[in-house]
Amino acid sequence: MVRAIYPGSFDPLTLGHLDIAVRASKLFDEVIVAVYDAPPKRLLFETEERMALWREALPPGVTNVSVVPYKGLTVDLAHQFDASVLVRGLRALSDFEYELEMNLTNRRMAPDIESVFLMSSHEYLYLSSTRIKEVWGLGHKLADMVPANVNRALTERLQQTDRG
């Protein structure tokens, strides 16, 4: 059985993230979406909210994907779950450079864990959580960029921000 970890902050979850997870679910026996609990950046959603958004967004037929929180090194999490693969999505050359450095570091710490890179589907090449937050902050509609439940959560969060 091949178990894979798909790590990230996913703040917010985009259609590109969801696409990578669904595609990975067809390649591996089990995919664990690992929602990073303490990234070094300002978060829009708490960890539990991001996990709940993931669980709700997964298509009903995708039964081999689970969602967990984590802190610390991704390779330690992989060892904890006896996962042999890290799944990462690539959009552009800048992603490749970052992921290459991360992969080399991970392989140094855990040579038993392979990284598998999935190219973003064409329609999601431009999507990133950072870009989504920028567009959202300026009040633009996001329905074609994020799952419907994430769009609702973002709309509610924007209304809370406007009120408060």
Which residues are known to be catalytic? 17, 41, 91, 129
The size of the chain, in residues, is 164
Q: How many Å apart are CA 130 and CA 81, to the nearest integer?
A: 29
Q: How many CB atoms lie within 10 A of CB 146?
A: 26
Q: Are the C-beta atoms of residues 57 and 149 closer than 8 Å to each other?
A: yes
Q: Which residues pair with 126 in a beta bridge?
A: none
Q: H helices within the chain, ranges in order?
A: 15-27, 47-57, 74-80, 93-109, 129-137, 148-163
Q: How many CB atoms lie within 10 A of CB 20?
A: 25
